[in-house]
Structure 1
Amino acid sequence: MSQPHTTDAVSYPEPLAHPEKRGIELIGASERHGRARDLFPVWAAPNVSVLNFTVGASLILLGLELWQAFLVIIAGSLPWILTGIVATSGPAAGTSGSVITRAIYGIRGNRVIVAFFGWFISAVFLALNWLASSFMGAELLAQLGFTDPVLAPVLVTIVVAAITVLVAVFGHSLILRSYPVVASVLLVIFLLVTAFILPHVQWGYAAPAPLDGAPLWSAITIGFAILASTPLSYTNSPDLARYLPEYTKSSRIVAATALGGALPCMLFTSVGALLATGIDAAAMDLGIESALLALLPAWLGPIFVVGVIINTISLNGMTTYTASMAFQSIGVPIRRIPSAVVVGAIGTALTIYLVMSTSLLDAVNLMLQLLVLISGPTMAIFATDVIIRRNRYNGRELFDERPGSPFWYSGGWHLPGLLAVILGAAVASLFLSNSAFTGPIAAAMGLLDLSVPVSMVVTASVYVALTRWSPARRNTTSNHVGANA
């Protein structure tokens, strides 16, 4: 059934003091505002993150030399370009990315993809980031005398999650206006922390057992998969750009989004790699959060933990905001604000489970690698569709859910899109290498993890090939994307 109320370009006031009521509804031209460069701090704030320290340290623990780790960090940041490309579809269509992907999977097919892939990615990233603040907050509480190893991180998780949901409830206006300040504050805090890390760095560091051959390439590819999984997960980037005027240059949207995410990731992941050279194995076994706080003066430790919590709230506030629109896009009759509360509850439950069952370093590395099987294909196909269509999407037609509508395809399913994602994930699993699962091809190649490039190449290639043979897609591309809402 169609949903007429979602096809009207409604006008809601967007004052900072009131929650954002809009969900996936189209945004009228009169409500479009801002410039592409406004996206830079929106993406920088959530990516000035303690997880970057964790991921950077893991590269050294894999056995890489510093220069090798730096090259992997640069390569792993390149997928941010895809995040930028996908973001351009937001202003073009004037709606959420979870609605735009109806053009890729069909009306019914999109519900399945968003319900499974979108929710899984959102829940995992909410948990991973809350997990970081939970461990850091619990470590600080321990220093203050509250040493309960379970209750402390659980309490921190609940408090941080509640504040995060409030950010998501107030939505786009709060994010756009507050994140530039948040990014600046976090940058100052993390640079201060970096200044106290650098004296402990072993600039002449050499790996205890230098890698070469297959073990070296295994470490490089695993590190790349971990790093690339972050930008590949941001298929929600259209949601943050959708309020920009339709005429905003795509190149500027790509640049602001990609650089906003990539620069802080590259900088502080590199610092994390440097950090690992100055910490012995025994300290790392206690957890990187404990090792990091031990290097800081007493006055800076609490400030850093507050910075970690602020970063967590900014990142998960964005994630919860966009995930709250997923319910609506799959047809669940729920408003965006109650949906944000549900998303927050799911993420909180998963975080509490991880707090009681794993360490921060283990959770981050394992989850990020497994996410590639989902995020790689979904990002690749979204970026490919934007390129194929030359970023021309008709917002009103995306909301037409009746049989025979432009994106109804075959019974509501667009087989080229669905098959491309499934095949991309299936083939990539053969090349995956981590502690939970090693694909047969990865094992045969000496534990090389080629899941990221394989997932993207296979998905994009299959999608392009199948859409060329699909009369329904050809007709949709030629007849229905010429005008934007």
Structure 2
Amino acid sequence: MPDYSPQTQSRVLSRVEQRGIEPVPVNQRNGKPSELFWVWFAANISILGIPLGATLIALGLNVWQAIAATIIGSFGSFAIVGIVSIAGRRGGAPSLTLSRAVFGVRGNIGPTLVALVSRLGWETVNTITGASALLSLCVICFGVPGGYKETPLLTLSCVLIFVALTAVISAAGHAFILTVQKWSTWIFGVLTLLVAGYLVTTVDWNTLLAGKTGSISACIIAVGTIASGTGIGWVNSGADMARYQKTNVKGGSLVLTAATGAGIPLVVIIGVGSILTAGGSDLASTADPVAAVRDALPAWVSVPYLIAAFAGLLMSNNLSVYSAGLTTITLGVRIPRVYAVVLDVVITTTGAMYFMLGSDGFYGPFVTFISLLAVPLTAWAGVFLTDMIARRHYKTDELLDLGRGSHYWYRHGVNVPAMASWLIALVVGYLFVTARVSDQVVWFSGPLADTVIGENGLAWLVSLLLAGVLYATLGLPAVRHEQAELAAENARDGKEA
């Protein structure tokens, strides 16, 4: 059981956050929605959006369609993240910890493990790209060779610098992250805008404006590509920062701050990638945009670009590692949150060093693998969001009880309706998926991949909707009954229902 004694509470919001996954007491929830705007903004100032913009043009869209698809996909997917944030305000706990109330304390292991793999995957990508940006700065400033394997010690040093900064900020916790993300938004957001403005001046506007209109099918695929590459990856982190929000904060404010905070930088950066590609530049479509900038632009542009790139990836990684630490504890690893952060950083550091120094070809296979996780992630979201329709209150102490006496033990530790809905939606979603690394390399193709749904990249949407419908049918009545009993219990105890 969590200890809410005055001595413990005085430590909880100290310089280094001591709290793990235990719910935040109501008297310590002082957050405002505007704080989350900066959190999501800074986490999405990432150059990884530039190749994503190139992908939209490669689908056959013109630049205006690409920008429209980016607006719909990014704002829409992060609106879902904002909705999950409402659960954090209600229960005061991280997303995957609250998920125990939905799936059961044992059933929740499956969705939590998927979430952790997704987080670690993207953190490895961030680490490699961030270290590459730092290495490119060394190439420009000191004239050293630019290949990973040509300068292994320098490459290793760049990785360690990136992960050390990540570990310090993530380990410090909630309050420090809020401050860092806000100031980073102003400093590196402005720098990114200046560099983006210069990049746009390098395109051939005649080529850009002559682009042909893409098909409706390509537009649908584009929206799905943006959604799965942006907000879907963050969907189960929504409550992790929102758990400190005041209990009277309106849900609409949380949705709006998440959608706009993430959507604005994503539209700018992905839009720049689309403009560069549509304008005839191959800068955005290269496999390594960091090295491409280093080689293609003058140093006075490359240096600020690489600084902004490094900072943007660091801000994204800070939040990801913070969430991954909470997810690791939720999975059942009984260590303090700071140690969980260190453990996750060690794993991603090992992965980054292996792929940079010991492997050829990384981005294609790895990004394909972690993009496959969009199906189970959205299936989880479908169940969790449907559960939120009826669940207004959580028995917060019971969220930490993993024994048979827990209120969320259900049957053998599993809430069967929720687990069945998740698994069925997951399996059905993969029927429509093609795991394609390149035109020559296809890992697998589902039997329904050549249907309209499969060809339009809507497997993630099928999983989201199917999981929600199944759980609404199988599990929602029981949730309503449980909430009615809890309200009656609170009324008897003289608490606010």
For residues 296-311 of structure 1, the aligned pairs below 5 Å read 296-311=297-312
**Which of residues 53, 69, 72 is equivalent to 1:56?**
53
Letter in 1 for 2:233: S
Q: Are the equivalent residues in 2 in contact too, given 1:279–1:291 (CA < 8 A)?
A: no
For residues 369-448 of structure 1, the aligned pairs below 5 Å read 369-389=371-391, 391-435=392-436, 436-445=443-452, 447-448=455-456
Give ranges in structure 2 of 5+ residues lacking alignment.
437-442, 491-495
2:489 maps to 1:477: no
CA distance in structure 1 between the partners assigned to 2:251 and 2:286 by the alignment: 46
Letter in 1 for 2:201: P
CA distance in structure 2 between the partners assigned to 1:295 and 1:198 by the alignment: 14
Letter in 2 for 1:375: L
Distance 1:7 1:327, change over 3 A: farther
Distance 1:331 1:202, change over 3 A: same
* 1:374-420 Cα shifts (integer Å, max 9, x gaps): 3221222222222232x432322323434353311112101111111
Distance 1:207 1:452, change over 3 A: farther
Residue 233 (structure 1) aligns with: 233
CA distance in structure 2 between the partners assigned to 1:363 and 1:184 by the alignment: 34
Q: Are the equivalent residues in 2 in contact too, given 1:380–1:460 (CA < 8 A)?
A: yes
Residue 92 (structure 2) aligns with: 94
Residue 466 (structure 1) aligns with: 474
CA distance in structure 2 between the partners assigned to 1:207 and 1:454 by the alignment: 35
Residue 462 (structure 2) aligns with: 454
What displacement does 1:433 show? 3.1
* 1:282-319 Cα shifts (integer Å, max 9, x gaps): 99446322333445432232222222222222211111
Residue 354 (structure 2) aligns with: 353
**Which of residues 83, 98, 109 is equivalent to 1:85?**
83
What displacement does 1:30 show? 2.5
Letter in 2 for 1:85: I
Letter in 2 for 1:73: T
Residue 176 (structure 1) aligns with: 178
Q: Are the equivalent residues in 1 in contact too, given 2:387–2:476 (CA < 8 A)?
A: no
Letter in 1 for 2:448: I
Residue 67 (structure 1) aligns with: 64
Distance 1:208 1:188, change over 3 A: closer
CA distance in structure 2 between the partners assigned to 1:168 and 1:362 by the alignment: 28
Letter in 2 for 1:176: L
Letter in 2 for 1:480: L
Letter in 1 for 2:324: A
Q: Secondary structure at the match of 1:437?
A: strand
* 1:63-94 Cα shifts (integer Å, max 9, x gaps): 32212212221221212111001001112111
What displacement does 1:113 show? 2.6
Letter in 2 for 1:226: T
**Which of residues 163, 175, 180 is equivalent to 2:165?**
163
Residue 199 (structure 1) aligns with: 201
Moved more, 244-253 or 4-13: 4-13
Distance 1:375 1:303, change over 3 A: same
Q: Are the equivalent residues in 2 in contact too, given 1:57–1:272 (CA < 8 A)?
A: yes
Distance 1:321 1:8, change over 3 A: farther
2:19 maps to 1:22: yes
CA distance in structure 1 between the partners assigned to 2:33 and 2:183 by the alignment: 17
CA distance in structure 2 between the partners assigned to 1:337 and 1:264 by the alignment: 29
CA RMSD of aligned residues (A): 2.8
Q: Are the equivalent residues in 1 in contact too, given 2:111–2:377 (CA < 8 A)?
A: no
What displacement does 1:226 show? 2.9
Residue 342 (structure 2) aligns with: 341
- Count, aligned residues: 474
Q: Are the equivalent residues in 1 in contact too, given 2:170–2:319 (CA < 8 A)?
A: yes
What displacement does 1:55 show? 0.9
Residue 251 (structure 1) aligns with: 252
CA distance in structure 2 between the partners assigned to 1:358 and 1:63 by the alignment: 30
2:143 maps to 1:145: yes
CA distance in structure 2 between the partners assigned to 1:212 and 1:304 by the alignment: 31
CA distance in structure 2 between the partners assigned to 1:335 and 1:282 by the alignment: 43
* 1:92-116 Cα shifts (integer Å, max 9, x gaps): 11122221001111011113331x2
Distance 1:281 1:81, change over 3 A: closer
Q: Are the equivalent residues in 2 in contact too, given 1:75–1:224 (CA < 8 A)?
A: yes
Distance 1:481 1:453, change over 3 A: farther
CA distance in structure 1 between the partners assigned to 2:278 and 2:317 by the alignment: 30
What displacement does 1:464 show? 0.9
What displacement does 1:120 show? 0.7
Give ranges in structure 1 of 5+ residues lacking alignment.
none
Letter in 1 for 2:61: L
Moved more, 186-195 or 270-279: 270-279
CA distance in structure 2 between the partners assigned to 1:325 and 1:363 by the alignment: 27
